[in-house]
């Protein structure tokens, strides 16, 4: 059976330029995925998805009332107040509401404070930000680098756990020490709204793609030994995993009613008190379902999704073959990503076992996961309280 290429599995991936011919090229007549699918550059991280369109947030030129000292940060003029309104909400000392009148809380309708004036490089253009990133890249990897994710025991969901494990695996493969910090608000702390994110020195970078670029700028890279063809192939497979496996995980978590009710909602809202836990869970569900509708997955049934997962695993299995890693001798970020997702699927107990059964059908994939776990994670079990500890026992995500 001819090997499945990512472009054959991914619907809608077409019109790509041809690869130069070479020993690897004979297997695939089609070629590079469209440039837009490539991992974004860290200088332009993904904007956090917002429910309504926002204008670009460019801080305005500073307003300088006469005589204010020309410090780098020109303080904003105290905004003029409408009658009866106050400048700052409850954090300020005390609160005075107009007595007697039926008043909306005074801070309701004050003219909002002025936009942040630029200072000391804060109003950075993209070029300047890229330059700052380059400067930061020159610093060595610090000892106290931290990776943030949601609470391991009670809160984290399948897809987030997979992404976090992928990043941890990648950093282990690069031999860069990082400690895992669990915070209930990790998703909101992240600059792009997605976990995990790493806090290295002064920089905050989220998601595997930008993290790979960031680490590369610091001089560590796993894919240096690959030629152009292989790099393109690796990117294609990474896109396959992101578009298939990750989306299937999200679908299962948020669009399958049984899983939603029994696992997702209780876990997602667990750090918050009532009624906030219900509100946040429903808000997130609405957001994910809208995204599914946009990419055309809303109409799919669970069987179709599992079928897609099976096809994806088949492609990966065929690419892996009998090699230890996807690109023979050395692990690359693709290995980290595949390990993250497959290991999480295998070790997570959901309402049904169908998802993990699909992966178990491919022996070389399970062997691959076990190999990476033994090599990169077992040795570190003793000195961690924070690593995701992908140990052997089936970790249950059921409450």
Residues 364-393 that bind another protein (CB under 8 A): none
Task: Compute CA distances 25 → 19, 30, 244, 320, whole Å.
Answer: 7, 9, 24, 17
Window 256 to 315, contacts with another protein (CB under 8 A): 272-276, 279-280
Which residue from 179, 183, 220, 289 is in contact with another protein, where contact means CB under 8 A? 183
Window 34 to 73, contacts with another protein (CB under 8 A): 45, 55, 57, 59-60, 63, 65-69, 71, 73
DSSP characters for 291-303?
Answer: HHHHHT-TT--HH
Specify the residue, 54 or 329, whose C-beta has the smaller distance to another protein: 54
Which residue from 19, 34, 40, 114 is in contact with another protein, where contact means CB under 8 A? 114
CA nearest neighbour of 291 among 251, 345, 258, 263? 251
**With binding defined as CB under 8 A, does residue 324 bind another protein?**
no
Which residue from 25, 38, 40, 107 is in contact with another protein, where contact means CB under 8 A? 107
Long-range contacts of 121-129 (CB under 8 A, 24+ apart): 122/59, 122/73, 123/58, 123/59, 126/43, 126/44, 129/43
Listed in sequence order, the DSSP H helices in the chain are 6-9, 126-137, 158-173, 186-189, 208-217, 228-240, 247-254, 257-259, 265-268, 276-295, 302-320, 333-347, 354-360, 363-372
Window 186 to 245, contacts with another protein (CB under 8 A): 187-189, 191, 199, 204
CA nearest neighbour of 12 among 361, 247, 381, 296? 296
Write down the least CB distance from residue 330 to another protein, Å.
Answer: 34
Window 123 to 182, contacts with another protein (CB under 8 A): 124
**With binding defined as CB under 8 A, does residue 93 bind another protein?**
yes
Specify the residue, 185 or 375, whose C-beta has the smaller distance to another protein: 185
Query: Is the bond preceding residue 275 a cis peptide, omega within 30 degrees?
Result: yes
Give 180's DSSP letter. E
The stretch near another protein (CB under 8 A) out of 101-109, 326-334, 368-376, 381-389 is: 101-109
**With binding defined as CB under 8 A, does residue 108 bind another protein?**
yes
Task: Give the burial string for 169-183 (b: 16+ CB within 10 Å, else e).
Answer: bbbbbbebebebebe
Write down the least CB distance from residue 264 to another protein, Å.
Answer: 17
Write down the least CB distance from residue 276 to another protein, Å.
Answer: 5
Specify the residue, 26 or 202, whose C-beta has the smaller distance to another protein: 202
CA 236, chain centre distance (Å): 18
Question: CA-based angle 67:69:72, to the nearest 5?
Answer: 140
Size of the site for another protein (CB under 8 A): 72
The stretch near another protein (CB under 8 A) out of 81-89, 247-255, 260-268, 389-397 is: 81-89
**With binding defined as CB under 8 A, does residue 76 bind another protein?**
yes
Give 64's DSSP letter. -
The stretch near another protein (CB under 8 A) out of 115-123, 160-168, 294-302, 380-388 is: 115-123
Which residue from 18, 24, 104, 367 is in contact with another protein, where contact means CB under 8 A? 104
Which residue from 2, 20, 51, 100 is in contact with another protein, where contact means CB under 8 A? 100
**With binding defined as CB under 8 A, does residue 101 bind another protein?**
yes
Specify the residue, 40 or 76, whose C-beta has the smaller distance to another protein: 76
Residue 284 is encoded by which pair of tokens?
Answer: 């997130």
182 sits in which H/E element:
strand 179-182
In angstroms, the CA 208 to CA 214 distance is: 10
Write down the least CB distance from residue 159 to another protein, Å.
Answer: 19
Backbone phi, then psi, for 180, in 5-degree steps? -95, 125
Specify the residue, 214 or 237, whose C-beta has the smaller distance to another protein: 214
Specify the residue, 187 or 333, whose C-beta has the smaller distance to another protein: 187
């Amino acid at each position: 059976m001819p090997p499945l290429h990512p472009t054959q599995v991914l619907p809608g991936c077409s019109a790509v330029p041809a690869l130069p011919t070479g020993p690897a090229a004979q297997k695939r007549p089609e070629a590079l995925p469209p440039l837009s699918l490539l991992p974004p550059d860290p200088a332009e991280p993904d904007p956090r998805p917002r429910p309504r369109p926002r204008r670009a947030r460019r801080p305005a030129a500073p307003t300088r009332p006469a005589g204010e000292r020309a410090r780098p940060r020109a303080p904003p003029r105290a905004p003029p107040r409408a009658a009866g309104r106050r400048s700052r909400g409850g954090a300020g000392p005390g609160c005075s509401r107009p007595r007697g009148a039926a008043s909306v809380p005074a801070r309701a309708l004050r003219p909002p404070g002025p936009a942040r004036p630029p200072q000391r490089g804060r109003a950075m253009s993209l070029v300047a930000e890229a330059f700052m990133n380059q400067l930061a890249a020159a610093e060595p990897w610090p000892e106290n680098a931290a990776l943030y994710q949601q609470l391991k025991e009670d809160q984290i969901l399948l897809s987030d756990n997979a992404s976090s494990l992928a990043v941890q695996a990648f950093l282990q493969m690069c031999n860069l020490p990082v400690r895992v910090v669990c915070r209930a608000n990790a998703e909101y702390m992240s600059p792009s709204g997605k976990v995990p994110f790493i806090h290295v020195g002064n920089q905050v970078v989220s998601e595997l793609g930008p993290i790979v670029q960031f680490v590369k700028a610091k001089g560590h890279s796993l894919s240096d030994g690959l030629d152009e063809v292989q790099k393109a192939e690796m990117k294609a497979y990474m896109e396959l995993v992101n578009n298939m496996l990750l989306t299937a995980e999200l679908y299962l978590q948020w669009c399958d009613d049984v899983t939603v009710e029994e696992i997702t909602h209780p876990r997602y809202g667990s750090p918050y008190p009532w009624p906030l836990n219900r509100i946040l869970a429903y808000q997130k569900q609405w957001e994910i379902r809208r995204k599914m509708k946009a990419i055309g997955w809303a109409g799919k049934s669970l069987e179709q999704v599992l079928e897609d997962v099976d096809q994806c695993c088949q492609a990966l299995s065929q690419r892996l073959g009998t090699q230890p890693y996807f690109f023979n001798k050395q692990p690359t970020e693709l290995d980290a990503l595949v390990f993250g997702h497959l290991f999480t699927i295998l070790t997570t107990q959901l309402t049904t076992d169908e998802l993990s059964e699909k992966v178990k059908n491919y022996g070389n994939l399970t062997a691959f996961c076990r190999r990476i776990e033994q090599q990169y994670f077992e040795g570190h079990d003793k000195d961690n309280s924070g690593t995701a500890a992908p140990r052997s026992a089936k970790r249950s995500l059921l409450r």
